[in-house]
Amino acid sequence: MPTGVALRDPREQLFDAAERVLLRDGPNALTSRAVTTEAGCAKGVLHRHFPDFDAFLAELVLDRIARIDAQAAALRGSAGTGTVAGNLTDALTDLFESVAVAIVGLITARDNLRTRLREARPTGVPVLAEATAMIASYLAAEREQGRLAADADVDTLALTLIGSGHLLFAGQYGTPPEAGAVHKVVTTVIGGVVRESAGF
């Protein structure tokens, strides 16, 4: 294995390598050796950029959370366009077809990682908490536009959608659910609050 390969953005390349290992082999296979082998670099590269492997994993999770923050802005901007159910179906699919389900599994499997993440995010399950906030913010924007009932409880709806979406995708063992299955969950959850003009 080459040890002198120059990495253009070492942190991002290591994060991407970790994500590939995580998605392919699961959280138990995620070691510093597996990550650096996947990235095609010497093991010392990881330790030059991170104090230890748990610090690397914590930064990986926080980096992926930042991606959810970007997705949240785009989703909120879509309020008033398309259909509420269609926007939510796309958002849940984008979220859970990514590394989000695997990241939650990683957090669950590693006590030290959970402890480190609690320092930055003391409440909720990282990734799922941010995803829930993303959906609640979007639903609030749709409620402001009159496409949801004025008394719609967006926080409870968001929790229900994220919990249902996570279970739907996590239970597929590597095969994502069909779009119709995701859409059915969404329409069932929001059916009582969507104004007819918003459509399904």
- The hierarchical CATH code for the domain 69-198 is 1.10.357.10
Residue 185 neighbours by CB under 8 Å, 6+ apart: 161, 164, 165, 168
| pLDDT at position 197 | 66
Quickly state the pLDDT bin for 8 (edges 50, 70, 90).
low
Write out the H or E segment, with its range, that includes residue 35: helix 32-39
Which percentage of the chain shows pLDDT scores above 90?
Answer: 57
The domain locations on the chain are 69-198
- Residue 9 has φ and ψ, to the nearest 5°, of -135, 85
The sign of the dihedral angle between the CA atoms of 184, 186, 189, 194 is negative
Read off the tokens for 97. Answer: 């077809």
| pTM greater than 0.75 (yes/no) | yes
**Half-sphere exposure at residue 43, Cβ-oriented, CA atoms within 13 angstroms:** 6
